[in-house]
Amino acid sequence: MTVGYLRPTRILVDQNAIYENIQNELKDLKGTDAVIFPVLKANAYGHGMIPVAEAAQAAGAAGFCVAILDEALALRRANFMEPILVLGITQPTEIELVIANQISITVGSLEWLQAAYEIVQQIPYPQPMHIHLSVDSGMGRIGFRDATELLAAATFIKAHAKYFDLEGIFTHFATADDPDDTYFKEQSARFNELVAVLPERPRFVHVSNSATSLWHSACNENLIRMGISMYGLNPSGNAIPELPYALKPALSLESELVFVKQVEAGSKIGYGATYEASESEWIGTIPIGYADGWSRRMQGSTVLVDGHRCEIIGRVCMDQLMIRLPKQYPVGTKVVFVGKSGDDEITLQEIADYAGTIHYEIICGLSDRLPRVYSGIDEH
């Protein structure tokens, strides 16, 4: 996708915020042997994978997590040599790439290992492949559910140590961000039961996503997969407002007025003529639309102009949208979609609440057409 560098709409990413969020988590881990692997999947939750990785590396990250092999390879091409764990399932046919780039992968079945063994034997001089066994303790997504099969997998790996290295075992909690911890405790107990069948614990045993590390730190084990909290957002939304340390949001979104006009009462605005001016009104046009990830659901929400809340009127177009202004403003006036203006602030949580979704979806939906502008990491 072509990036819109020549229009005034842009995402601003504060690398210092990412640095500080990681540093705060590391302080919370002081006195333990736990390390942090920031989660950089989906272009670092829309923030930009490489600049976020740079900030995380400076903050003391020991490795990285991604969702797919392509993301891991992109980090290697950018010369990040730390351990990288692919959290999703990688096809056995891609084993040669995995080994050549020393990438750790997730395995969730004995059948996968058996298929991989047939392939890896054909690779000249292979190094052992680093494996993290995934346990489905109740998420219902991927992983071992049966103790017998898990033990068989661990035994298979040990029997073929020339090709496989059992580096870790992990699970993912479905309700770590829920005030009711009943199901969380069930999952935790189930994971512990399954891990207990292993003859020896691997180097990394990990269960903690952001929510677990914030509210269930006793379960941290020795690797934290720091995701949404690294970006300064509360994993629970509004469900658990209390946090062990302050989170600093890293992302803001702003644009400018590119056209301003006064319309008379009765004038209609936008596709479907869904908005009609009730009186003489000043209308501003902004170059952002649903192709940029600002969905049609956002009609009726507000943006900030000079500290004033201004309603999005009419339907959001593919590339533009219109707002009602309190008075005439000149073309070029800043418009804030996410962030502060004057004494007011629009948060990603507010936007998610309006759209009936979660802030994860809002930031991951921001299009690559929006340029990302980064503030540098201060000397610390």
Binding-site positions read 141, 318
Active-site entry in 185, 261, 271, 340: 271
Strands (E), 98-250: 104-107, 129-135, 164-171, 204-206, 223-226
Active-site entry in 19, 41, 45, 360: 41
Task: For residue 340, indicate whether it is catalytic.
Answer: no
Phi-psi group of 74: left, alpha or beta (phi > 0 → left; psi -120 to 50 → alpha; rest → beta): alpha
Output helix, strand, coil percentages for the chain, rounded to the nearest 5: 30, 25, 40
DSSP class of residue 48?
A: -
The encoded tokens of residue 83 equal: 């351990």
128 burial level (CB within 10 Å; 0-12, 13-18, 19+): middle
Separation of alpha carbons 109 and 132, rounded Å: 11
Task: For residue 231, indicate whether it is catalytic.
Answer: no
Q: Which residues are annotated as a binding site for substrate?
A: 141, 318
Separation of alpha carbons 11 and 305, rounded Å: 17
Amino acid at site 320: Q
Strands (E), 203-348: 204-206, 223-226, 251-256, 259-263, 268-269, 275-276, 281-286, 302-305, 308-313, 321-325, 334-341, 344-346
Catalytic residues: 41, 271
